[in-house]
Structure 1
Amino acid sequence: MLSRLFLKDFAIAAEIEVELRPGMGVISGETGAGKSLLVDALLLLTGARADAGVVRHGASKAELIAEFELDGAASAAHWLREAELESDGECLLRRVIRADGGSRAWINSRPATLGQLAELSALLVGIHGQHEHQALLDRRQQLALLDAFAAEPSALTALSAAHRRWRDCRRSLSELEAEHGDAEQIELLRHHLAELERRQLSAEYLSTLQTDHRRQAAAQDILASLQQGLQALADETGRGARRQLQSASAALQRAVQHAPELADTIELLSSAAIQVDEAIANAERIQDDLDLDPARLDRLDEELSELHDLARKHRCTMEELEAVRDQLNKRVSRLDNLEEERRRAEAELSQAEQAWQGAAAVVSAIRAQAGQRLSDAVSALMSELGMAGGRFEVALERHSGEPNELGAERVEFMVSANPGQPARPLRRVASGGELARISLAIEVASLGADALPTLIFDEVDSGIGGAVAEVVGQKLRQLGEKRQVLCVTHLAQVAAQAHQHFRVSKVTQEGQTSSAIQRLGKTERVEELSRMMGGVEITAATRTLARQLLDRAANSEPVVP
């Protein structure tokens, strides 16, 4: 619940601090005194947009602080833990708005975004009144309230679990489809693999292929060189190396008897002649083996050209084609397995959707029954709250499309404020007073089923009076027995029902006007109620009536502080 609210340099408030208790509290005061300041401050602390106009004239910034006790606010405590913003069971919201228009926010003394303020405050406080920031106007909040009113959490848990399973199955299928690709892509991969598998791509084969190609391409040049070389070695006309060596050896042989030292030279020439003969034999053998085959050269050209084309297609070198083939083979094998996995995932997704449909059907039946009960209860309360002939309807609209975590329908709170008028969405009700009373009726009928520990009603009694005003006060007190209720009011019949009463007034000091707030005791409450009923002149009869109102309210069961 809200335990403390602090305002500094906010609008006409120089500094206000309010300590709040459980039960029903009211705020009253003269027109223009600043009764709605606390509500406006709470709106800003719940993430509403602010402008520099909220900063008190002459001040550099406005500061707002709200302190909440988390007993009975398990959802808020869980949110704080998840966001790592918890602080020994405390919840302190702080916001500073500068005169230049900028603002900053904190949760438990740690910087926070306005989005975080809005998320957390939605679990702590519900604000109803003549403004657009009301939780009951949000369709998701309406659905949450209906589900809480139905009080069947196990069905919602089963629905949530079914949706999570469906979502997981869909994600798995999407991942498989993304990896698998379409049929054309798969067929193209198989075609590429077949192209590569038709060819030898080993490093040894490619080396031999390139060597053969170079040899065939240079065969004519090789033959000419061989012929030229053989002629130089074996020419029988006397110019060949063999004949030259023979002639030199014969000439030296004739002189060796006179010059024995020539024997070594003759031996060297003899060895050279033997090597020349071996060279000639090798060259002749190579010449005989040389295959001048133009057709083979064409075949080698064609094969190398195809391999180079494949290398360009796969953006690699010819030597890397073997690795590309192996990778493609693995990928195609994986895709073949994925096809089976995809069919299995499709079956699991279909089963998950059927399970969700079953869980959603159970929730739909529960919501239909709860919607009728809530419609009847709120319609009856609307009559008590001065809207005789009005009716409230919970409209359930079937949701089309894929499974949703919220179920198979959406809810819309519909209202007809007067007899004969068609029901319209609650968010489109024109009268702020009617809207506030309908919100009160919903809260009373559901007895705080939305689990919010604190409820704020801003001038919920606008446009009513007399007996209806007293009924409104009684309903607010009844709601205050279950939750903390704070109501801004100008009616004594409503204010008399409060467990605690605050009066806002204007104070002028040194030419500066500011708002002040005071908690009233019983005597002060009599005077304030008398003022609210009696106008300018307060009579003894007015005070007597004020005491009677307080006594009647006191006879109801008191709230435990």
Structure 2
Amino acid sequence: MLTHITINNFTLVEHLDLDLKRGMTAITGETGTGKSILLDALAMTLGERADADRVRYGAQRADITATFSLDDLPKAQEWLINNDLNHADECLLKRTITTEGRSRSFINAQPATLQQVRALGELLIDIHSQHAHQSLLLKTTHQRLLDEYAQHQPLLKEVSELYQKWQTLQKEFITLRDNAAEMQAKYQLLHYQVEELDQLNVEPGEIEQLEEEQILLTRAESILYSSQQLADTCNNDEHGLQQRLQQALRLLSDMETKGTSLRNAEQLLNHALIHIEEAYHEIRHQMDTTALNPERLQEVSERLSACYNTARKHHIRPEELIDKHKQLNNELSKMPSEHEHLSILEEKAEQAAAHFHKKASSLSKKRHKAAQKLTKAVNQQLSTLSMNNANVQISLCTDIQSPTANGIDQIEFLISTNPGHPHKPLGKIASGGELSRISLAIQVATAQTSKVATLVFDEVDVGIGGSTADVVGQLLANLGSNSQVLCVTHLAQVASKAHQHWQVSKYSQSNQTASTITELNQQCKIEEIARMISGSELSKQSLAHARLMLEETAD
């Protein structure tokens, strides 16, 4: 519910603070005073297009702040929470407009886009006027009104959830299906690579062993020649190192007296002899194990060449072939499961679609039944509003080929204002005043189920009078008993039914014209209603008539 509005430097208003209450509030005033200023200001806070001309002459910017109570607006609370804009049990919408035409919007003191403001505004207030943005011209409003009237919200929520689930599965399936050719090519490549590595069958440590063996085989002749020379140097009949060391040790052994240095020398020569003997045996072992084998050399070289070529294909080192083999094997093992997943996903998407269409069809049947009842109720209200020739029809076009989160129905309110004429969309046939009265008829018919807390009607009484004006006033008052109703009117019959009455007036100060809004007490109500009856000149008769109208309303 709208609880407070502050307006600064907007059109003719310099400063205005208004506290609003539940029930019906009538807004009246003489022609040209700016009775729609409040509605225009509200429209600005709800995302209406900004215009620099809206800034009061002489001011730099206009500021409008609207405060809403969220006690009876769970959807608005949920929206604020989901957008990280929650602020206890109240919501503050603010709009600033500069003379340069720039504007900024705020939700609970945080900057917001116009799209966000408009989305939230639809959950806070419903303006039925001649503004271009009024919700009754939107098909989404038609669907919402019908579903709220028939109390379809639980089923609609289920349909929406099923639709989202179906679309998610369908998107996954299409993505996977469209990539099938790419997946097949990848599978064939992986299969070839794994098969090649299977045939190569590199063993752990094999590359290192082959490289070492290749070196030995390549240098076998040189190694044998050099090893023979080494062996001869170590052990020769007369001139080998072993023989010379043994001769030196015999000389030391034959010496009768040896000092410390000679004893140390003897010990070192003994150690040297042992090392020479061990080296000789290692050299002989190398000579025994080294053979000239061209066939084996060719075999080893070909094996290494195959490993090197395969490693180059994968841009890795030969030592990494075993790990690469494992990796590709793992990827290949997963490929068949992905093909199987495509079939499973397709089946799940089909099942989700069938479940959605089943629930959507059930919702569609309920909507058709509810549409007949709502059509009858709205047309009855139109008759009481002096629109006997008008006939509303709710069009439901069921199209299973174009489903949405709201089901399979395209819902639109159509109207014919003259007998025999075809029904057409509201915005193409109904005039501003007719559209407001149609809105009133629909709101009255759906008042018990509608979730809108604040309803605004601008000039709903255009073109009517007499008993019909009384009916309009009573209908608005009835709406006000369950919600908040703001109504701009020029008829005394309507204003007299209001729970609160505001008067818009214009005055001049310092060579500038300004408008203000004042809440009227009982005596001022009588005088304002008398003025609306007789004009600017009040008479005893008009005052008495006004007093009588208010007394009848009180009764």
Q: Same fold (TM over 0.5)?
A: yes
Could you tell me whether the CA contact under 8 Å between 1:353 and 1:403 is conserved in 2?
Answer: no
Equivalent residue, structure 1, for 2:533 = 533
Seen in structure 2, the aligned counterparts of structure 1 residues 305 and 33 have a Cα distance that, compared at 3 Å, is: farther
Q: In 2, Cα distance between the equivalents of 1:81 and 1:278?
A: 88
1:342-421 correspondence runs (5 A): 342-401=342-401, 404-421=404-421
Q: Using a 3 Å threshold, how does the CA distance of structure 1 residues 48 and 304 change in structure 2: closer, same or farther? A: farther
Shift in Å at residue 440 of structure 1? 1.4
Alignment of 1:299-378 (within 5 A): 299-378=299-378
Question: What is the CA–CA distance in structure 1 between the aligned matches of 2:132 and 2:191, rounded to whole Å?
Answer: 62
Asked if the contact 2:230/2:283 (under 8 Å) is kept, the reply is no
1:206 aligns with 2:207: yes
1:283 CA displacement: 7.6
Task: Give the structure 2 partner of residue 290 of structure 1.
Answer: 292
CA distance in structure 2 between the aligned counterparts of 1:24 and 1:335, rounded to whole angstroms: 69
Distance 1:397 1:137 in 2: 17
Deviation at 1:324, TM superposition (A): 1.6
The answer for the alignment partner of 1:138 in structure 2 is: 138
Report what 1:484 is aligned to.
Answer: 484
In the alignment, residue 95 of structure 1 is paired with which amino acid? Answer: R
Query: 2:44 maps to what in 1?
Result: 44
**Deviation by residue 1:385-406 (Cα, 9 ceiling, x = unmatched):** 2333222121122344576421
For the residues of structure 2 that align with 1:543 and 1:449, how far apart are their CA atoms? 39
What's the counterpart of residue 13 of structure 1?
13
**How far off is 1:60 after superposition?**
2.4
Letter in 2 for 1:201: V
Q: Which residue of 2 aligns with 1:187?
A: 188
Greater Cα offset, 341-350 or 454-463: 341-350
| Mean CA deviation greater in 32-41 or 202-211 | 202-211
1:149-188 matches, within 5 Å, as 149-167=149-167, 169-170=169-170, 182-188=183-189
Whether the 8 Å CA contact 1:388–1:418 is kept in 2: the answer is no
1:356 and 1:403 in contact (8 A); partners too = no
1:230 CA drift (Å): 5.6
2:374–2:445: 8 Å Cα contact kept in structure 1? yes
SS at structure 2 position matched to 1:122: helix
Pair 1:312–1:68, CA change in 2 (3 A)? same
Deviation at 1:43, TM superposition (A): 0.9
State the match for 1:559 in structure 2: none
Q: Closer, same or farther in 2 for the Cα pair 1:232/1:426, shift >3 Å? A: same
In structure 2, runs of 5+ residues without a counterpart are 256-264
1:197 alignment partner in structure 2: 198
CA contact (8 A) 1:128 1:134 kept: yes
Q: Indicate conservation of the 8 Å contact 1:242/1:273, yes or no.
A: no
Q: Given the superposition, is the C-alpha separation of residues 283 and 55 from structure 1 closer, same or farther in structure 2, using an over 3 Å criterion?
A: closer
SS in 2 for 1:382: helix
How many angstroms apart in 1 are the aligned matches of 2:275 and 2:96? Answer: 108
Name the residue aligned to 2:117. 117
The corresponding residue for 1:458 is 458
User: What does residue 468 of structure 2 align with?
Assistant: 468
Q: Cα deviation per residue 1:204-235 (whole Å; 9 max; x = unaligned)?
A: 1122233344445x35xx4266458769998x
Aligned to 2:516: 516
Q: Deviations over 1:516-547 (max 9, x none)?
A: 11122333233323333333544444444444
Give the percent of matched residue pairs that are identical in Structure 1 and Structure 2. Answer: 36
Equivalent position of 1:558 in the other structure:
none
Q: 1:546 to 1:313 in 2, by over 3 A?
A: farther
Contact 1:470–1:493 (Cα < 8 Å) also in 2: yes
**1:361 partner amino acid:** S
Change (3 A) 1:328 1:504: same
Q: Residue 198 of structure 1 aligns to which amino acid in structure 2?
A: Q
Bigger drift between 273-282 and 530-539 goes to 273-282
Measured in 2, the distance between the counterparts of 1:279 and 1:354 equals 83
Change in CA separation of 1:489 and 1:271 when aligned onto 2, cut-off 3 Å: closer
Q: Deviations over 1:283-325 (max 9, x none)?
A: 86466x21023xx555545443443333233232222121121
Structure 2 counterpart of 1:290, one-letter code:
L
Distance in 1, Cα, partners of 2:2 & 2:356: 39
Aligned-partner Cα distance in 1 for 2:481–2:278 = 124
Deviation string, structure 1 residues 306-360 (Cα, Å, up to 9, x no partner) = 4333323323222212112111222222333344444334333332222222211
Q: 1:73 to 1:529 in 2, by over 3 A?
A: same
Aligned AA for 2:140?
A: R
Alignment match, 2:221 = 223
Query: Which residue identity is paired with 1:331?
Result: E
> Which range moves more in the overlay, 497-506 or 196-205?
196-205
Are the equivalent residues in 1 in contact too, given 2:402–2:408 (CA < 8 A)?
Answer: no
1:484-503 mapped onto 2 (5 Å cutoff): 484-503=484-503
Residue type at the aligned position of 2:199? R
Q: 1:155 to 1:275 in 2, by over 3 A?
A: closer
State the distance in 1 between where 2:299 and 2:397 align. 75
* Pair 1:477–1:232, CA change in 2 (3 A): closer
Deviations 1:81-114 (CA, angstroms, capped at 9, x unpaired)? 4445444422332333333433333434444443
TM-score (norm 2): 0.84
**1:357-381 deviation line (CA, Å, top 9, x unaligned):** 2211111111111112112222232
The 1:500–1:243 alpha-carbon spacing in structure 2 relative to 1, beyond 3 Å, is same
Inter-CA distance 95–499: structure 2 relative to 1 (3 Å threshold):
same
1:398-456 CA distances to partner (integer Å, 9 max, x unpaired)?
34457642112221222222223222222444622222222112111111633111001
Q: Please say which of residues 529-538 and 59-68 is displaced more in the overlay.
A: 529-538
Question: Shift of residue 176 of structure 1?
Answer: 7.3
The 3 A distance-change label for structure 1 pair 284 and 353 is closer
Residues 474-513 of structure 1, C-alpha deviations (whole Å, 9 max, x = no match): 3222222222110112222322222221110111122221
* Aligned pairs for 1:540-559 within 5 A: 540-555=540-555
Q: Could you tell me how far apart the structure 2 residues matched to 1:276 and 1:430 are?
A: 116
